[in-house]
Amino acid sequence: MIRILLILLIALLAGTALSMGLTYDLGYIRISLGRYLIETNFWVGLALIIGLVVLITGSISALRRFRQGSGVVAGWMARGGERRARRRTTQGLLSLAEGNWARARKLLTSSAEHADTPLINYLAAAQAAFECDDHDAVDELLRKAFESTPGSSLAVGLTQAQLQLAGNRPEQALATLLRLRKEAPHHPFVLKLLKNAYLKLEDWRELAKLAPDLRKRSVATPKELDDLEREVWHNLLERAADECRRARAENSEAPLEPLTRLWDEMPGFVRRDEFTIRDYAGLLASLGDEAQAETLLRKVLRNHWSDELINLYGRIRGTHPEEQLLMAEQWMKDRPNNPELKLALGRLSLRNELWGKAREYFEASLQLRRSRETMAELSRLNAHMGEEAASIKLLMQELETDNGLPDLPMPRA
């Protein structure tokens, strides 16, 4: 109430002062503009000036409010576009997961420009284009992905390499991965994809070079890496043996240098692998160097027993078959119940023309384990010793066992 009275008092005083001022003649205002002359009373001129100032100030204020309003509208529209982009991105990813490749590609591509993470949109769209067999679109989408996000070279390159491998384009994938390896030489996923590319290309030599890095970066389990290296060196040995065979076809006395040189190049732990030793010794024997194969197997079996290797040892003819038999019989002291060793002893007895001894070893092996290989050896020996009935009986037992024949009545001979 007091405030209202105060305002009224001030207004009354201001009105009184204004009315008193108007009674005095303070002169006039005269403005000349070219040929025009403007004259007015001082109070009217003052009122016009005040009105002009108020008009200009109001106009500036209105303009500012308009601009602020435009920014709000623009921001609202931008946020609306982002919301739509997020919604379409989600729909596109769901379509991709559902296998609706065409719809996924359309949604992801159209929303990429306004998406929070355009890189994901373009990479997922490239996957959808790949599933549609549109490889040109894949390359274009990957290019856009690279341009959309600084520092995305590795992510884009890995996606590109995966799609190239999946599309059975290992040469292109290899080129992509070699470029990525320069950028990230120790990246585990780059190394893994590089391994897959070399496997598809059957580039065993490069895989052998890559194997130490695969182990160092734990790209796969130790067993998987063991199997991989075994496969790599097996294929390299086979290729070296093929080279030796071609050389022997032209010159029967050609040395086995390609094969033996490769053996010397192998890492120590690979040369200690029984399966690799078996491959190498078997190739030496097949190329006519059974003596070197027998020497290698004898050295290995002295320190590291292997049923695989003793089986091969029994198949190989060394320089001195009688010494070979004596060596194997010494091993039997520590392994009296090893069926593979007894099979090998039977074969070595045959090499020394000890027929009865060979049959005893074969029969002893069969008592420990019924093996088709051992039954075939014993059946063949019985047939050559004139015991056709025993040979036929063994063969019939093998056939019955292998085919799971039921116990049925049979006519008597």
Using DSSP's 3-state secondary structure scheme, residue 28 falls into strand
CA–CA dist 271, 187 (Å, integer)? 29
Q: What pLDDT shows up at residue 72?
A: 46
| Distance from the Cα of residue 206 to its chain's centroid | 17
Q: What pLDDT shows up at residue 237?
A: 96
Q: What pLDDT shows up at residue 74?
A: 44
Q: What pLDDT shows up at residue 409?
A: 63
CA–CA dist 140, 126 (Å, integer)? 8
At 366-378, the pLDDT tens digits run 999 988 888 888 8
Q: What pLDDT shows up at residue 277?
A: 96
Q: What pLDDT shows up at residue 48?
A: 66
Range of weakest confidence among 118-127, 231-240, 307-316, 371-380: 371-380
In degrees to the nearest 10, what's the CA dihedral of 154, 160, 163, 167?
-140
Beta bridge partner(s), residue 37: 32
Beta bridge partner(s), residue 29: 40
Tokens representing 150? 């600084």
Enter the pTM of the model: 0.71
Q: Examine the pLDDT at 73 and tell me if it is beyond 70.
A: no
Please report, for residues 167, 274, 369, the alpha-carbon distance to residue 269 in angstroms, rounded to integers and kept in the order given: 36, 10, 32
DSSP code of residue 301: H
Averaged pLDDT for residues 390-397: 72
At 321-355, the pLDDT tens digits run 999 999 999 999 999 999 999 999 999 999 999 99
Contacts of 365 (CB under 8 A, 6+ apart): 339, 340, 342, 343, 346, 371, 374
Percent helix, percent strand, percent coil in the chain, to nearest 5: 75, 5, 20
Q: Examine the pLDDT at 76 and tell me if it is beyond 50.
A: no
Q: What pLDDT shows up at residue 375?
A: 86
Helix axes 170-183, 188-201, angle to 10 degrees: 150
Q: What pLDDT shows up at residue 404?
A: 59
Q: Examine the pLDDT at 79 and tell me if it is beyond 60.
A: no
Using DSSP's 3-state secondary structure scheme, residue 30 falls into strand
Contact 171, 181 (CB under 8 A): no
Torsion angles phi and psi, residue 100, rounded to 5 = -90, 80
Quote the mean pLDDT of the chain.
85
Averaged pLDDT for residues 281-297: 95
Considering the chain, what percentage of its residues have pLDDT values greater than 90? 56
Contact 31, 38 (CB under 8 A): yes
Averaged pLDDT for residues 260-276: 92
Torsion angles phi and psi, residue 32, rounded to 5 = -110, 125
* H/E run at residue 388: helix 388-403
Averaged pLDDT for residues 2-19: 62
| Distance from the Cα of residue 411 to its chain's centroid | 63
- All structural domains of the chain, each given as residue ranges with its CATH number in brackets, are 221-319 (1.25.40), 330-399 (1.25.40.10)
With vertex at residue 116, the alpha carbon angle to CA 110 and CA 118, rounded to the nearest 5 degrees, is 50
Which of 118, 86, 90, 124 minimizes the C-alpha distance to 105?
124
Q: What pLDDT shows up at residue 23?
A: 57
